[in-house]
Amino acid sequence: MPNLTEPKLISGNANRTLANAIARRMSMHRGMTVGLLDARVERFNDQEVFVEVYENVRGEDMFIIQPTSNPANDNLMELLIMSDALKRSSAQRTTAVIPYFGYARQDRRTKARTPISAKLVANLIVESGIERVLTMDLHAAQIQGFFDIPVDNLYASPIFALDLKHQFGDRMDQITVVSPDVGGVGRARELAKRIGAALAIVDKRREKPGEVAEMTVIGDVQDRICIVVDDICDTAGTLCKAAEVIKEAGASEVHAYITHGVLSGPAVERVSKSMLKSLVITDTIEPTAQVLNATNIRIVPTAPIFAQAILNIWNGTSVSSLFDHGTLSAIYEGLY
């Protein structure tokens, strides 16, 4: 049954811009002001995290908005300590809204004597008192099984499909969706299916981690508008190399749609000088000034889908309904 209390939002310091945007969208849907809980999330001089909540949360349905992006360890500790504070303050239920789930790339043992850090982080989240997780585009879908609590994994592909139709209009029949590696074919196929596009793959072979030795395009990209799709762009080395290889294979334009723009180190400079005509990312990670000022990087909002997902969880209604084109189009009405 739906809860009688109102959903309450609290945010750490990882991405307050997104948290405020989610609160504004929820206010529009509810027809009443939904604000972030009055609280402070600060550091002591030795960098220990301290949380103090100034409002009563007894019996409330709480949603902590906190991606575990750079600095991943600090933001993760903020999430855990906020959860503990709410649990000890008798909140009825606490849901962690983690737009970007850090440590997701460490989801299996690739060699001897290495950790499965994603599982460890899942254990920490559950032990802190969180009862549900809402996230977007987990690096590996099986990470949902690392949790002993419900996990709702939203997808960026429906949002990307709306954006592509808005940006390319009558040129949609010229688009080919490209997966930058074999492991991402499922994600690329999902987007290609949504927009009725052809599919291609970039096969890459590594000599050692972080270095790509050889890339080959599998599929016809001649005179096509190629859309490279992936979940994470970190240093952008692989992405920019893939764009170069696709362009050499005859593509007329190369664009990239990436869910989580980590964009660390030389990433923005590489993208600016690359063969990419545009890089589109979401705001699951707070963009830096360098990202905002880049001429060929564009950001699409996730606040509308997260706001509706939070309301659906609070109401006890379907979250998967948000993957439907008609439903999402209504949520993003006015933006596309």
What residues pair up with 244 in beta bridges, in sequence order?
Answer: none
- Is residue 139 marked as binding? yes
**Active-site residue identified among 119, 165, 204, 277:** 204
Q: Are 159 and 140 in contact (CB under 8 A)?
A: no
Question: Which has the closest alpha carbon to 293: 264, 275, 266, 268?
Answer: 268
- Is residue 181 marked as binding? yes
- Is residue 107 marked as binding? no
- The DSSP letter of residue 141 is G
- Is residue 52 marked as binding? no
- Is residue 231 marked as binding? no
- Is residue 324 marked as binding? no
Query: What are the start-end ranges of the E strands in the chain?
Result: 7-11, 39-43, 49-53, 61-65, 93-98, 132-136, 151-154, 175-179, 198-208, 211-218, 225-233, 253-261, 278-282, 297-300
- Is residue 265 marked as binding? no
- Is residue 39 marked as binding? no
Structure tokens at 79: 């999430």
Active site residue 8: no
CA distance 142 to 145: 5
- Is residue 238 marked as binding? yes
Its sign, for the CA torsion 195, 200, 205, 210, is negative
Query: Which residues belong to the annotated binding site for D-ribose 5-phosphate?
Result: 206, 230, 234-238
Query: What amino acid positions are annotated as catalytic residues?
Result: 204
Query: Which residues belong to the annotated binding site for Mg(2+)?
Result: 139, 181
Query: Which residues belong to the annotated binding site?
Result: 46-48, 105-106, 139, 181, 206, 230, 234-238
Query: Which residues belong to the annotated binding site for ATP?
Result: 46-48, 105-106
